[in-house]
Amino acid sequence: MQVEDLKKSYGKIEALKGVSFEVKKGEVFALIGPNGAGKTTTLRIVATLLTPSEGNVVFMGKNLKEHADFVRENISYLPEEAGAYKNMRGLEYLRFMATFYAKNERDVEIFINRAKEISGLSDRLSDKIGTYSKGMIRKLLLARALMTKPALAILDEPTSGLDVINALEIREIIREYVKEGTSILLSSHNMLEIEFLSDRVALIDKGRILEVGTAEELKEKYSAKNLEEVFRRVVQ
């Protein structure tokens, strides 16, 4: 996927001022920056939820503006604030969501079985989602996002609000899934998470990409011990 010179304005506010980057097949590409930098706006444009003021996204050789339906069929998006229907049982929720993407009942069953494996929730899928912990809900939502084997999964703060163990399990699920060829466009404030998950990192601030590279390349360039130091030096 190629993101080409994206610009987005809300009235007089320029949220994006010409954002460009590429996400390669089977790659975890991380977009990091301070609050208000333009991360979520970028993710929502790629997810076809927002229309850019200028610029373009090319996905699997197709222009997003002209082939939005094709893009939606081949991506999944897990926003930070995503929730699930608490009165539904986990399995009911997965079946409900699967019907939006499946072409037939066989596909539905394939998606559900894949989601069961990804989530690792086993018997708890028979329980109402309202009884789940935050970690369990996030695993369920991640399974929903990955069960269709999208060409690109867009994950905004995938471990937000989770404890160390649950966050680690989510990261391991993501890393394992990338091996099957899915590309990941990731946003997170957790720099350790970014280092663990990402193949390449883009630093964004005030609507512009300031740096792109692997975590090691960026740490070497800025003589930094970790990405937090890189982040601070680039942004300041």
Per-residue model confidence (pLDDT) at position 81: 76
Per-residue model confidence (pLDDT) at position 160: 82
pLDDT at 79 over 90: no
Per-residue model confidence (pLDDT) at position 210: 95
Q: Do β-strands 200-205 and 28-32 pair in parallel, antiparallel, or remain unpaired?
A: parallel
Per-residue model confidence (pLDDT) at position 187: 94
Q: What average pLDDT does range 27-56 have in this prediction?
A: 94
Phi, psi angles (nearest 5°) of residue 205: -155, 135
Q: Note the pLDDT tens digit of each residue in 185-209.
A: 999 888 888 988 999 999 999 999 9
Rounded-to-integer distance, Cα 184 and Cα 146, Å: 10
Q: Note the pLDDT tens digit of each residue in 43-65.
A: 999 999 999 999 999 999 999 99
3-state secondary structure 197-223: HCCEEEEEECCEEEEEECHHHHHHHCC
pTM: 0.93
Residue ranges of domains in the chain, CATH in brackets: 2-80+151-235 (3.40.50.300)
The rounded mean pLDDT for the chain is 93
Using an 8 Å Cβ cutoff, are 194 and 229 in contact?
no
Q: Which residues pair with 128 in a beta bridge?
A: 89
pLDDT at 84 over 80: no
Q: Note the pLDDT tens digit of each residue in 103-121.
A: 999 999 999 999 999 999 9
Per-residue model confidence (pLDDT) at position 131: 95
Residue % of the chain over a pLDDT of 70: 100
**pLDDT confidence bin for 166, thresholds 50/70/90:** confident
